Structure 1
Amino acid sequence: MSLYDEGHTIAGWTGFGVAAVGSGAVGWGVCTASLPLAGAGLAVVALSLLVTWVLHLAGWGKPPGVRPREQWGIRIRDARAREGHPACMSCRLAGRGREESFVAPAVVPVAESAEPAPLSPIE
């Protein structure tokens, strides 16, 4: 069983619901050849991004990665949201998080061997 619990949050499901309604409106606008309805549906889809982002920043979205099983519940709010999640694009856009957590790891040189590794079993 995986230790990852991706997307099972209030922010994720609310964003999905709003985007599904917007996609339905876009489809209805295309089928009826109604440009205003299709445009309104696209606006609702864009609104779903903002709704998801605001809910994530309010603590109803959780960061990616491994979390303990007791934090898997959908009604459990993330207490670390105010500081920002490491490597979270939503938190970075909001200006949250520690700068050192967003720095790429240093490149470690690999020792070169005398013999090149074979490329295939035939060689």
Structure 2
Amino acid sequence: MSAHLYDEGHTAAGWTGFGIATGGSGLVGLGVCTASLAAVVGGLAAVALGVLVTWGLHLSGWGKPPGVRPREQWGMRVRDPLAREGHAGCVACRLAGRGRRRADLVPTSSASLSAESIPLSPFE
């Protein structure tokens, strides 16, 4: 099996967020070692900034969904053509209002639902 079939995180969004969060984590560690509250708060702010930057890059197409992709989309410099519609099962896309809409999840007839017909887990 090829190592490129499941290359989650090997994207421009993933590496950019990793770099920012690593710098922020280093700053937090420095603040803990030197007992500097300002460094700890600044490092935590940098980590939060890394999350937001990664999210923004993912939504603009520089982050790709997990799973198997065509060979031409394996590279880090390739934008995801399906980012505007949202990725199935992607929390970041759902937070941005992309992907499956709430109307898709709600059944059309509420009369047909009873307590016995609603599964408690995906395995039932």
Task: Give the TM-score normalised by the residue count of structure 1.
Answer: 0.79
| Distance (Å, rounded) in 1 between the aligned partners of 2:23 and 2:123 | 48
The number of aligned residues is 106
Structure 2 match to 1:27 = 29
Gaps of 5+ in 2: 106-118
| Distance (Å, rounded) in 2 between the aligned partners of 1:83 and 1:27 | 39
Structure 2 match to 1:11 = 13
2:43 counterpart letter in structure 1:
G
Deviation at 1:108, TM superposition (A): 7.6
Deviation at 1:68, TM superposition (A): 1.6
Structure 2 match to 1:48 = 50
Structure 2 match to 1:114 = none
C-alpha contact 2:32 2:40 (8 A) present in aligned 1: yes
1:88 to 62, 67, 90: 90
Deviation at 1:76, TM superposition (A): 0.3
Gaps of 5+ in 1: 110-123
Deviations 1:60-107 (A, max 9, x none): 00011111222110000001001111111100000011338x85xx86
| Distance (Å, rounded) in 2 between the aligned partners of 1:108 and 1:89 | 21
Structure 1 residue ranges (4+ consecutive) displaced by more than 4 angstroms after TM superposition:
106-109
Cα distance, 1:6–1:108 mapped onto 2, change above 3 Å: closer
| Distance (Å, rounded) in 1 between the aligned partners of 2:24 and 2:42 | 8
C-alpha contact 1:59 1:81 (8 A) present in aligned 2: yes
